[in-house]
Structure 1
Amino acid sequence: MPVQPSDCPIRDFRFAGIDFESAGASRGRTDVPVQIGLAWWSCSEGHQAPFVSFLASDAPITWSARKVHGITDEDVVGAPRLLELWPTVKRYLGQSVVVAHGKGTEKRFLRAFPGHGFGPWVDTLLLARSAWPELKDHSLSAICDSRGLSDRIAGMIEDKTWHDALFDTVASLVVLEDIVQEFGLSDLPLSHLTHPDTSRWHRLRHG
């Protein structure tokens, strides 16, 4: 399913979710990914092809990062490096609209593939702020709890929880699906997702 022109309706696109978990930042050291999750969703085909892998890292996982995601140095022993997963990453993200919750980390780690050209991007953090600006917390778990989506995600990704890369990837796609359905966006242009209006959220936050 190739990426359509941006004025095509949302229902014509395939969306590829991505999430990274990292080793954690420390003084004098650049943060690196230690787990990647990928999955697809589209209006016509639903949720498909969940993929998750630990990633080898030369940097030890910090205590603070382990406390968040529970990944240990032992978990990543023998795992592929991110660059080794280029064929998989390209298969998921190429010809798809890329989705992440707070896309900065994902875009940063994907710089490992110079000139990859992935995109356009949909940030479900910005979408949620536009859709429900009155919420006090727009973290992925808080949004899913407030929308009654968390149990559904847990049923889709068994034996996983928040801050597992695949769990968070699927959660971001479920949030996207929820927004498209709640606001009847499927026949509208993709720009409604790539450039959401967050002005009301900003007014509430700074008012």
Structure 2
Amino acid sequence: MTIGDCRFAAIDFESAGAARGRTDVPVQVGLATWSPAAGHGERFMSYLASDAPITWSARKVHGIRDEDLHGAPPLLALWPQMKKHLAGAVVVAHGKGTEKRFLRAFPGHGFGPWVDTLLLSRAAWPDLPDHSLSALCEGCGLAPVLESHHSGGRWHDALYDALASLLLLEHLIAHHDLAGRPLDTLLRPDTATWHRLRR
């Protein structure tokens, strides 16, 4: 399958923050879809019920308060929506570790394969000093496009970050003329130069 034939679904979680003696848990999820053939599609965002209070350090990053979670569903209750967006799609995240970990709440979900835009950007632009999602979007001139897709959004809002990952992927595919290449090109980017520059 070529990249141009794929449907991509980006996912981002925001969390309550790590605290001594407890496991970190998600408090917000955002999903957005895109394909080279059909363009940008459906979006979904929800706060998530949490037994753990949001740490001060996490709240400082994403601005989500405990009161924002009142009445929010638990992650497992969102299985129908998550499956609708992610099943059959190439799943996209910027630094996929957190997203893969939280999706383990759905045993045997089978979502994937995964494209990590953090690894892709390190392979594409190894000499950049900052490969954070915000720095990449600013550097690639994607900030106005992101604002047009999600007016008034902010970094570390789950839907905003999911959309940013998709826009970055779209930019990478267009900039490097990858639409006709096999999907494997995105799944296993060569980050050897980036690692060598950091020795």
Shorter-normalised TM range:
over 0.9
Structure 2: 5+ residue runs without aligned partners? none
**Separation (CA, whole Å) in 1 of partners of 2:155 and 2:148:** 13
Tell me, yes or no, if structure 1 residue 110 matches structure 2 residue 120: no
Aligned match of 1:5: none
**Separation (CA, whole Å) in 1 of partners of 2:143 and 2:198:** 26
TM-score, normalised to structure 2's length? 0.99
Tell me, yes or no, if structure 1 residue 192 matches structure 2 residue 192: no
Tell me, yes or no, if structure 1 residue 151 matches structure 2 residue 144: yes
Tell me, yes or no, if structure 1 residue 58 matches structure 2 residue 51: yes
Aligned match of 1:4: none
Residue 106 of structure 1 and its aligned partner are, at CA, apart by: 0.1
CA contact (8 A) 1:56 1:76 kept: yes
Counterpart mapping for 1:69-80 below 5 A = 69-80=62-73
Runs of 4+ in 1 over 3 A off after TM superposition: none
Residue 154 of structure 1 and its aligned partner are, at CA, apart by: 1.4
**Separation (CA, whole Å) in 2 of partners of 1:58 and 1:159:** 29
Aligned match of 1:25: 18
Residue 119 of structure 1 and its aligned partner are, at CA, apart by: 0.5
**Separation (CA, whole Å) in 1 of partners of 2:118 and 2:138:** 15
Structure 1: 5+ residue runs without aligned partners? 1-7
Residues 115-170 of structure 1, C-alpha deviations (whole Å, 9 max, x = no match): 11110000000000001111000000000011010121012111211000000000
Residue 21 of structure 1 and its aligned partner are, at CA, apart by: 0.2
Tell me, yes or no, if structure 1 residue 132 matches structure 2 residue 132: no
**Separation (CA, whole Å) in 1 of partners of 2:164 and 2:170:** 10
**Separation (CA, whole Å) in 1 of partners of 2:144 and 2:54:** 29
- Percent identity reads 65
**Separation (CA, whole Å) in 1 of partners of 2:18 and 2:189:** 30
Aligned match of 1:47: 40
SS of 1:160's partner is coil
Residues 29-78 of structure 1, C-alpha deviations (whole Å, 9 max, x = no match): 10000000001011011111111110010100000000000000000000
RMSD: 0.6
Write the letter of the residue equivalent to 1:158. Answer: S
Write the letter of the residue equivalent to 1:80. Answer: P
Aligned match of 2:173: 180
**Separation (CA, whole Å) in 1 of partners of 2:141 and 2:153:** 18
**Separation (CA, whole Å) in 1 of partners of 2:73 and 2:135:** 32
CA contact (8 A) 1:154 1:161 kept: no
Write the letter of the residue equivalent to 2:171. Answer: D
Count of aligned positions: 199
Write the letter of the residue equivalent to 2:70. Answer: V
**Separation (CA, whole Å) in 1 of partners of 2:146 and 2:44:** 15
